[in-house]
Amino acid sequence: MSRAFDEAVKLDNEYVMHTYGRLPVEFVHGAGAELIDVDGNRYLDFLAGIGCASLGHAHPKVTEALMQQLDRVWQVSNYYYVENRGELAKLLSELLSTTTDEQGNVTGSTGTVWKSFFSNSGAESNEGAIKVARRWGEKRLNGAAGIVSARQSFHGRTLATLSATGQDVFHKSFGPMPAGFASVPLNDADALVEAIEHPSEATGPVCAVMLECVQGEGGVWPATFDYLRFVRDLCTRKGLALIIDEVQTGIFRCGAPFAYQLAGIEPDIVSMAKGIADGFPAGAVAARAELADLMVPGDHGSTFGGNALAAAAARATLQTLVDEHMGEHVIATGAHLAERLAALPHVTEVRGHGLLRGAQLDVPIATPLVERGLEVGLVLNHIGDSILRFLPPLVVTEAQIDEMCDKLGKLIEELA
Ligand SMILES: Cc1ncc(COP(=O)(O)O)c(C=O)c1O
């Protein structure tokens, strides 16, 4: 390791809060699906900053949009109109109302108008989603405020989104948790009906169901298309808001602009972040106009949310994804990735859609695999001992997938 890297480690250890266990590398340059570390070593990136660098690192179109904006104005607040914000929201509305087949091929549009609130992260987008749903409950459901999510879900690290997160491990030590949340097993229709029809006293009457189409942080566990259709129908019959958390699955990650489109459903509220601005911090919560219009001045806000830099980066990212037909590329490369992963030794199952994939191993070597991966130039990610999660930049090529899988296969054989 170089002195520059040693110094980075020393400073981090001394002055940065240790909320993450860090891997021993500092990346200083990136292009497409490749990263270069401080010592000049090359890596293939199959994490993309946890699913954020959708167009790949430092994409020229996003860089250009940001450079132009850097020279003009950065932050004026949401008291004023902001360049690019309206165009960005319109583009999002078009993407949100897109219809696709089960692979993600575009088939048309529902014509729904979606209105967005811009935030800076996924957790903030979900906070907004929870507020819109509770406003819906207040105005349309006699004050119902309960929200039912799924076990093993992940919705963020703020207190309300932790409460919505159906994993007890995240609730320890930081209580009391905000009230009004319950979780039921994913893909269990009866459990959901029970939680809505007989909510606990702590949850109270339910105003919304909140789901990920694929539980990314939980281990890449997809909701079945039938379950998503059932939930949509149930929410419609009972007048509940359906919130789909697309923070990890959205923005073409699963082939379609948003993963709910694979199941042929349309939610009421959608949260997003990660890939929306190619890694520039930005997020949004969008709602169908009927719900969005219940939010009035003073109800919600964010100093930075949707500022001039974020709006420029997000607009350039989305426009480029559309112009370059990224959905079609993701469908093809995602299928290739799934096929190659399934053929690796000790992989018993490959889950997910598009370029969000989980490989289940029958040996608990996921942690050392990620560590050894770095030594052979692979940026990998694991969830627990036996799940590898793949979230490459959407621009990843079949040749890069082949290179990663060839190296990974050898590492698995070495460690198993
Ligand atoms: C589905 C989902 N929701 C919310 C979040 C939280 O996003 P952020 O870390 O940007 O707050 C994540 C992050 O991994 C996520 O995967």
Rounded to whole angstroms, the Cα distance separating 330 from 257 reads 10
Rounded to whole angstroms, the Cα distance separating 249 from 239 reads 25
Ligand 1 midpoint to CA 391 (Å): 14
Instruction: Kindly provide the b/e burial profile for residues 137-173, where b requires at least 16 CB atoms within 10 angstroms of the residue's own CB.
Output: beebbeebbbbbbbbbbbbbebbbbbbbbbbeebbee
Are the beta carbons of 378 and 404 closer than 8 angstroms? Answer: yes
**Both tokens of residue 15?**
């002055």
Ligand 1 midpoint to CA 251 (Å): 14
Rounded to whole angstroms, the Cα distance separating 297 from 303 reads 14
Ligand 1 midpoint to CA 368 (Å): 25
* Cβ–ligand 1 contact at 273 (below 6 Å): yes
Q: What integer pLDDT is reported at residue 1 of this predicted model?
A: 64
Side chain identity at residue 171, one-letter code = H
Are the beta carbons of 383 and 219 closer than 8 angstroms? Answer: yes
Domains of the chain, each with CATH number or no CATH: 68-323 (3.40.640.10)
Q: What integer pLDDT is reported at residue 2 of this predicted model?
A: 81
Side chain identity at residue 335, one-letter code = A
Q: Give the nearest ligand 1 atom to 245 CA.
A: 1
User: Nearest residue CA, atom 16 of ligand 1?
Assistant: 248
Are the beta carbons of 287 and 115 closer than 8 angstroms? Answer: yes
Q: pTM value? A: 0.98
Are the beta carbons of 246 and 384 closer than 8 angstroms? Answer: no
Backbone φ and ψ of 246, nearest 5°: -105, 25
| H or E element, residue 4 | helix 3-15
**Which residues lie closer than 8 Å to 45 by C-beta, 6 or more apart?**
30, 33, 34, 35, 53, 57, 379, 392, 393
Ligand 1 midpoint to CA 348 (Å): 27
Ligand 1 midpoint to CA 273 (Å): 8
Probe residue for ligand 1, chosen from 54, 214, 274, 304 as the CB with the greatest number of ligand atoms within 8 Å? 274
**Both tokens of residue 213?**
């189409």
The predicted-structure confidence for 242-267, as pLDDT tens digits, reads as follows 999 999 999 999 999 999 999 999 99
- Between CA 408 and CA 416, with CA 414 as vertex, the angle to 5 degrees is 95
Collapsing DSSP to helix, strand or coil, 156 comes out as: coil
* Cβ–ligand 1 contact at 248 (below 6 Å): yes
CA distances from 211 to 90, 372, 383 (A): 24, 34, 19
Ligand 1 midpoint to CA 1 (Å): 32
**Both tokens of residue 143?**
């004050």
Ligand 1 midpoint to CA 59 (Å): 23
Are the beta carbons of 181 and 146 closer than 8 angstroms? Answer: yes
Q: Give the nearest ligand 1 atom to 212 CA.
A: 1
User: Nearest residue CA, atom 7 of ligand 1?
Assistant: 122
* Cβ–ligand 1 contact at 126 (below 6 Å): yes
Ligand 1 midpoint to CA 370 (Å): 21
Q: What integer pLDDT is reported at residue 3 of this predicted model?
A: 79
* Cβ–ligand 1 contact at 121 (below 6 Å): yes
* Cβ–ligand 1 contact at 156 (below 6 Å): yes
Q: How many residues does the chain have?
A: 416
Query: Left, alpha or beta for 35 (phi > 0: left; psi -120 to 50: alpha)?
Result: beta
* Cβ–ligand 1 contact at 127 (below 6 Å): no
Q: What integer pLDDT is reported at residue 4 of this predicted model?
A: 83
Ligand 1 midpoint to CA 246 (Å): 9
Are the beta carbons of 220 and 352 closer than 8 angstroms? Answer: yes
Rounded to whole angstroms, the Cα distance separating 317 from 311 reads 10
* Cβ–ligand 1 contact at 245 (below 6 Å): yes
**Which residues lie closer than 8 Å to 181 by C-beta, 6 or more apart?**
146, 147, 148, 149, 163, 164, 203
Per-residue pLDDT of the chain (416 residues; tens, 9 = 90+): 687 889 999 999 999 999 999 999 999 999 999 999 999 999 999 999 999 999 999 999 999 999 999 999 999 999 999 999 999 999 999 999 999 999 999 999 999 999 999 999 999 999 999 999 999 999 999 999 999 999 999 999 999 999 999 998 988 899 999 999 999 999 999 999 999 999 999 899 999 999 999 999 999 999 999 999 999 999 999 999 999 999 999 999 999 999 999 999 999 999 999 999 999 999 999 999 999 999 999 999 999 999 999 999 999 999 999 999 999 999 999 999 999 999 999 999 999 999 999 999 999 999 999 999 999 999 999 999 999 999 999 999 999 999 999 999 999 999 99
Partners of 347 in the β-ladder: 361
